Amino acid sequence: MDLIDGLRAFVFTAETGSFTAAAERMGISNRLTSKYVAELEARLGVRLLSRTTRRVGVTASGEALLARAPALLDDLDEMLAEVTEDGRGFTGTLRISAPVTFGEKYVQGMLARFAAPHEALVVDLRLTDAYVDLASEGIDLAFRVGEGAVTSLKRRRLGALRSLVVASPDYLARNGTPESPADLAAHACIADTNRAEPGQWAFSLDGAEIAVDVPSRFRVNSAQVARDLAVAGQGIAFCPTFVLGDDVETGRLVPVLENYDSPTRAISAVWLEGRTLPRKVRALIDFAVEDARRNGLG
């Protein structure tokens, strides 16, 4: 058994609590992952993992090794990367997580721009509106909208998302244009349930905060679908500007309540605290900050 493979198998299994998840991260079979760990235990003469029918736990000896092994493996990866990447660009796999609509509208293009000069780099982009566990899923970097409460994550702010209240010209011609947030009570509103409070829209005017409960004709868990319904004349939507594209410029959608400001939501790159970041992850974070600035998100 290669000692490095054994250490990787142990660390991934300990972090995910599963031989299956560890095997997926290593790109090998479940059986081989278990074998690597067993051989490492035999070589060290201690039990590192406690196995039950439900999950895999970490013993006291395993905890001691887990406190140091990830940094050792990161240093090794860093050293090898510096040798290989200087000549042919970044290699290996980057596992990225992002919200569905933001990922489709922005992150996928940003990643394509980052990966363009690195032909040997594999980008594994996983889109979900759930807050994934970065350790158990083997995620190198996640892009998130809004302020997270997970203290085990480090973050770097990329920018902020602004939202607009919009409706189609046809809807406004049929139903009138709201002049104040309170007027929304008389309209068909399209609620994006990915927002923290989808049934309550917040505004500010001259420093005064205003929050109004809105009636929801449609409730959808997609900002893109909320935009599509608004374009179709089904109601008024509160959409982040990145999903609107040129809808306002072309007149497909009309902004309303323009005298009122709406809260912005932070866009951040987040990663696990306490781990040495590989060069390609650090480079991606720096690239994302600059790309967000160039695209008006910074």
pLDDT per position as a tens digit, 85-101: 555 678 888 999 999 99
pLDDT at position 53 is: 67
Selection from 107, 157, 145, 147 nearest residue 239 by Cα:
145
Structure tokens at 267: 């866009």
For the chain, which residues score pLDDT lower than 50?
none
Burial of 254 (0-12, 13-18, 19+ CB in 10 A): buried
Which homologous superfamily does the CATH classification assign to the domain defined by 88-160+266-294?
Answer: Periplasmic binding protein-like II (3.40.190.10)
88-160+266-294 and 3-67 share a CATH fold? no
Report the amino acid identity of residue 218. F
Q: Are 185 and 199 in contact (CB under 8 A)?
A: no
C-alpha distances in Å from residue 131, one per residue of 88, 150, 281: 34, 10, 20
CA distance 3 to 26: 14
CA distance 122 to 93: 5
C-alpha distances in Å from residue 119, one per residue of 86, 114, 140: 13, 11, 19
Q: Are 14 and 66 in contact (CB under 8 A)?
A: yes
Structure tokens at 80: 């090898």
How many C-beta neighbours within 10 Å does residue 207 have?
6
CATH number of 163-263: 3.40.190.10
Q: What pairing do the DSSP bridges indicate for beta strands 141-145 and 200-205?
A: unpaired
Sketch the domain layout of the chain as residue ranges. Answer: 3-67, 88-160+266-294, 163-263
Q: Give percent of the chain with pLDDT exceeding 90.
A: 52
pLDDT at position 88 is: 62
CA distance 121 to 161: 29
Q: Which residues contact 283 (CB under 8 A, 6 or more apart)?
A: 90, 114
Q: Are 81 and 93 in contact (CB under 8 A)?
A: no
Q: Are 87 and 110 in contact (CB under 8 A)?
A: no
Q: For 67-123, how does the pLDDT look when each residue is reduced to its tens digit (9 = 90+)?
A: 888 878 877 877 776 666 555 678 888 999 999 999 999 999 999 999 999 988 899
Q: How far apart are the first and last CA of the chain?
A: 48
- The fold adopted by the segment(s) 3-67 is Arc Repressor Mutant, subunit A (1.10.10)
- Strands, DSSP E only, in 106-162? 121-127, 141-145, 153-161
How many C-beta neighbours within 10 Å does residue 222 have?
18
How many C-beta neighbours within 10 Å does residue 75 have?
11
CA distance 188 to 97: 33
Structure tokens at 82: 């510096």
pLDDT at position 277 is: 79
